[in-house]
Amino acid sequence: MNKREFLKDAILFFPAAATLQALAPAAEGKAEPATTPTDYDATRHWYGMGIDVDKCIGCNRCVEACKAENNVPDEPFYFRTWIERYQIHENGETRVECISTRAGLPEQAPPEDPSVVRTFFVPKLCNQCAHPPCVQVCPVGATFQTQDGVVLVDEKRCIGCRYCIQACPYGARYLNPRTKTADKCTFCYHRITEGLLPACVEVCPTEARIFGDLKGKADRLVRFHRVNQISVLKPDLNTEPKVLYAQLDGEVR
């Protein structure tokens, strides 16, 4: 083979190889269409959750269901969602306690304290912000917002630097000790994209949690939005949370 022939072959070889390479994944995708719902169109949804604080009974079942559904470590300090007990005292002091840290059953309820003026439970989770600060700080683009408005973490890209954990104003992220990557609520992305409810909503006994699609036409969340006075957590940060609270006490941070 002389120089000229070699060059000629090379010029033909590389584009051909590249075309094959480009075609290969497409062929692969066609081979297994069952696992990935191809008819799901993310651009047609904009998911959110409503929380009616007045209805939460603090049973912690949402936390347990979330852990089971999403393989969250059992230790009582890793959560994708958790419940806080608020106690507001006569002198204005506010005590907040995370009741989800207790293992198993609630210990005896705290004794009656007449100086407590109001007390209630507040479910918390990732607010799936429209402007998520965690996404902005991620140095490797591992955390991102999908077109349907859910903030996800790419476990394969995450380097475990914890910037996003620091950046989240709601404390919604933790470092998963098994994968050594950041982890957080995904609204149960694998469920909602199949038309199911997130696990926490599925088990909530009092319908304190309402899951819905803010782009939906006939949607419970849209009605929830219409009939309630809605507050979001830390509105001054302009993160624009999509977790909407009704009957939220002004003391809740």
Partner 1 sequence: MKLPEQVTRLGIVIAVIVAVVLLLRFVILPESLFSARPHQAAAAEREMAKPLRHAGVAVCRECHEEQFELKYGGKHRTIGCENCHGPAASHAADENAAKPPLPREREACLACHGYDSSRPNGFPQVDPLEHRPRKKCVTCHDPHDPVPPKAPTECTGCHGRIEHTKAMSTHALLPCASCHAVDAQHMTEPRLALPTKPDSREVCGRCHVPGATDPAASKVSVDMAAHGGTYVCWECHYAHLPEGRK
- Interacting residues toward partner 1 by CB under 8 A: 14-15, 17-19, 21-22, 35-37, 40, 42, 54-61, 65, 68-70, 85-87, 105-106, 109-110, 112, 114, 116, 119-121, 141, 144, 146, 152-157, 186, 189-191, 193-194, 196-197, 199, 202-207
Indicate which of partner 1, ligand HEC, none lies near residue 35 (CB less than 5 to 8 Å, by partner kind).
partner 1
Q: What one-character DSSP code corresponds to residue 112? A: P
Write down the least CB distance from residue 221 to partner 1, Å. 17
Choose between 177 and 205: whose C-beta lies nearer to partner 1. 205
224: three-class secondary structure by DSSP: helix
Count the residues of the shown chain that bind ligand HEC, applying the rule CB under 6 A: 4
Q: Which two tokens stand for residue 174?
A: 């933790």
- From residue 191 to residue 210, the character string flagging contacts with ligand HEC as x (rule: CB under 6 A) and all else as - is --------------xx----
When asked if residue 116 is in the footprint of ligand HEC (CB under 6 A), the reply is no
C-alpha span between 39 and 145 (Å, rounded)? 20
Return the residue nearest ligand HEC (CB atom): 205
Strands (E), 28-176: 47-52, 81-89, 94-98, 116-125, 143-145, 151-153, 174-176
Q: Which of 84, 87, 85 is nearest to 118 (CA)?
A: 87
Residues 71, 224 contacting (CB under 8 angstroms): no
146: three-class secondary structure by DSSP: coil
Write down the least CB distance from residue 236 to partner 1, Å. 27
Q: Which residues bind ligand HEC (CB under 6 A)?
A: 59, 61, 205-206
